Amino acid sequence: MIQLYFLSIVFNGLSGFLFIFGDMEKDDTDENKGKFSFISDGFRLVIGILAGITGILKLLLPMGRIPILGDLLPAVAGIAAGFMLVFGFYREHSSDAVAEGSINRFGELVIHYKKPIGIILLASAALHFILPTAFLL
């Protein structure tokens, strides 16, 4: 389905961009709290949910002739990006009692590999755009 192909490229690219360049300094002044920002928590949550849903749908409805393997890399990348973005939102907005347990330890592991996963997401989006019917892309 061509729409899922396009959405996979867009959401993998946006997620990779957020993972690599999303650590820029946030300005939390009173004037900027109500403004829309590409680094805002709500934007990250929406992109995470949509990237995960698109990744799952890419597994179920592949574009090429090969059922599962044709879109495996972009689908897995989208699911991983969705999980990481939603998990990051949950981790930032959970109470301190919950965050001190296993969520905090797992979160540190996820944050440690955020930039390499962002590079993989951007590469996956670029390769999927350039080579739409390639095997495993």
Q: What is the block-wise mean pLDDT of the chain (137 residues), using blocks of 10 residues?
A: 86 92 61 58 91 90 65 87 88 65 70 87 88 66
Q: Report the domain count for the chain.
A: 1
Is position 35 within any domain? Answer: no
Predicted TM-score (pTM) above 0.75? yes
Q: Do residues 123 and 17 lie in contact, with contact meaning Cβ atoms separated by under 8 Å?
A: no
In a domain, 107, yes or no: yes
Is position 30 within any domain?
A: no
pLDDT value of residue 31? 53
pLDDT at 24: 62
Amino acid 126 reads A
For residue 47, give its domain range. Answer: 2-18+40-130
The rounded distance, in Å, linking the Cα atoms of 136 and 68 is: 9
In the numeric block, the tokens 């592991």 are attached to 109
Tell whether 113 is covered by a domain: yes
Q: Is residue 92 part of a domain?
A: yes
Model pLDDT, residue 28: 54
CA distance 123 to 63: 19
- All residues at 6 or more sequence positions from 63 whose CB lies less than 8 Å from its CB, including other chains: 1, 2, 4, 5, 70, 71, 132, 133
111 within some domain: yes
Residue 125 belongs to a domain:
yes
